[in-house]
Amino acid sequence: MEFKDSKGIFQQIADNICEKIISGEYPVFSKIPSVREQAAVMGVNHNTIMRTYMELQRENIINNQRGIGYFVTEEAPQRIVQLRKEEFFRHEMPEFIRQVKLLNLSQEELKPLFDQLNKQP
């Protein structure tokens, strides 16, 4: 996996796992890969994965059954979506709108955006 410089690696991995949970790849109650396994897959130090898992555990997104592994909690998908929505409406959307206005983008240039947003729902 490749990482950006702007955010911590552990953060990026946490986001990645969260997305796997809400997309259904890691279902509720399922066991996620062990620390060492995940570290190998991601190509990072296992301490980094350790930190990721601890943060996720602190937010009740996964929990630990000692000696067995980490499991997706029942409330995980709901919590993740809730946190992200808050973040989205508080920061990301306003900032996005600000950018569009600042760059003075034309309707023409924004068409692909509207097309995408109107697609499926």
Partner DNA sequence: GTGGTCTAGACCACC
Partner DNA sequence: GTGGTCTAGACCACA
Stretch that binds its own copies, among 26-34, 71-79, 91-99 (CB under 8 A): 91-99
Residues 61, 65, 69, 71, Cα dihedral to 10°: -30
Answer for which of 56, 61, 70, 73 binds DNA (CB under 7 A) is 70
Place of tokens 């990645």: 16
Query: Would you count residue 26 as binding DNA (CB under 7 A)?
Result: no
Closest CA to 72 of 6, 9, 22, 120: 22
Question: 104: left (phi > 0), else alpha (psi -120 to 50), else beta?
Answer: left
Query: Would you count residue 29 as binding its own copies (CB under 8 A)?
Result: no
Stretch that binds its own copies, among 25-33, 34-42, 70-78, 92-100 (CB under 8 A): 92-100
Query: Would you count residue 120 as binding its own copies (CB under 8 A)?
Result: yes
Two tokens, residue 24? 């259904």
Query: Would you count residue 9 as binding DNA (CB under 7 A)?
Result: yes
Query: Would you count residue 16 as binding its own copies (CB under 8 A)?
Result: no
Query: Would you count residue 69 as binding DNA (CB under 7 A)?
Result: yes
